[in-house]
């Protein structure tokens, strides 16, 4: 190590298994009520044509991977759109509220899933996994969620919202 490690305690870590964080924060109806409380929403799903998808990609600079637009029209004006973004290890479903003027009025993450490899350092933990292989995946007793890692960027969500707003202009408005 590059520093005087005298006052530091050192512990080994080892690879053990895979794990996941999967949380559903809202049902679709709950998300609709969170963003448009007390409003009546009507499903108005749209399948984008080639030219619409191209127009959205040009306007937003973001690839359109899914032609199905899960949109609901809000009685008092505006739209509720359920969308998803897929990162390297994470899968996020989120809801965007668009008001009658076309501005974002609400944004809620509906479902978050992230998969991990998993390491432990505790000898007691290690001992229970002796003999386990990758083909014999462990069932962890609880969901992993309190990760103090460096920042996982929300850029892909920001890109998704940009694409949803372009979709609104091209196919919903």
Partner 1 sequence: MKLRSSNHLRARPVAAVGLERMRPLLGTIVEIRARGAEPRLGSAVAAAFAAIEQVQRLMSFHDRRSDVSRINAAQAGTVLRIDALTHTVLRAAWAMSERSQGLFDATIADALVRHDFLPRPEAEHAQPVTFRDLELLARNRVRWHRKGWIDLGGIAKGFAVDRAIETLQAHGVVSALVNAGGDLRCFGAPEPVYLRSPGDPSVLVRLGVLADGAIATSAGYFSERESGGQRIGPLVDPRRAACVSWERSVSVIAGTCMIADALTKVVALAPDGAPARLELLEAQALILDREWLWICGRPRPSRFAGERIAA
Binding site for partner 1 (CB under 8 A): 1-5, 7-13, 15, 19, 23, 25, 88-89, 94, 107-109, 112, 115-122, 125, 142, 144-154, 157-158
Residue count of the chain, please give it. Answer: 173
In whole angstroms, the minimum distance from the beta carbon of 84 to partner 1 comes to 14
Nearer CB in complex with partner 1: 93/167:
93
Nearer CB in complex with partner 1: 59/107:
107
> Cα-flanking dihedrals φ and ψ of residue 114, to 5°?
-140, 135
In whole angstroms, the minimum distance from the beta carbon of 12 to partner 1 comes to 6
Nearer CB in complex with partner 1: 23/47:
23
Partners of residue 80 on adjacent β-strands: 72, 97
The position carrying tokens 């559903």 is: 24
Distance CA 80, CA 74 (A): 7
Distance CA 82, CA 96 (A): 7
């Amino acid at each position: 190590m590059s520093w005087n490690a005298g006052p530091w305690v050192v512990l080994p870590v080892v690879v053990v298994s895979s794990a996941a964080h999967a949380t559903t924060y809202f049902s679709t109806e709950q998300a609709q009520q969170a963003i448009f409380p007390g409003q009546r929403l009507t499903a108005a799903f749209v399948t984008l044509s080639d030219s619409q998808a191209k127009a959205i990609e040009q306007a937003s600079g973001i690839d359109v991977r899914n032609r199905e637009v899960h949109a609901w029209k809000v009685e008092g004006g505006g739209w509720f759109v359920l969308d998803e973004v897929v990162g390297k290890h994470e899968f996020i479903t989120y809801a965007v509220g668009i008001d009658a003027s076309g501005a974002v009025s609400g944004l809620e993450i509906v479902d978050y899933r992230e998969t991990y490899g998993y390491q432990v350092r505790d000898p007691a933990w290690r001992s229970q996994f002796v003999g386990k292989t990758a083909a014999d995946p462990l069932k962890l007793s609880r969901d992993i969620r309190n990760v103090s890692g460096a920042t996982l960027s929300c850029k892909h969500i920001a890109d998704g919202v940009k694409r949803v707003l372009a979709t609104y202009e091209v196919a919903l408005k």
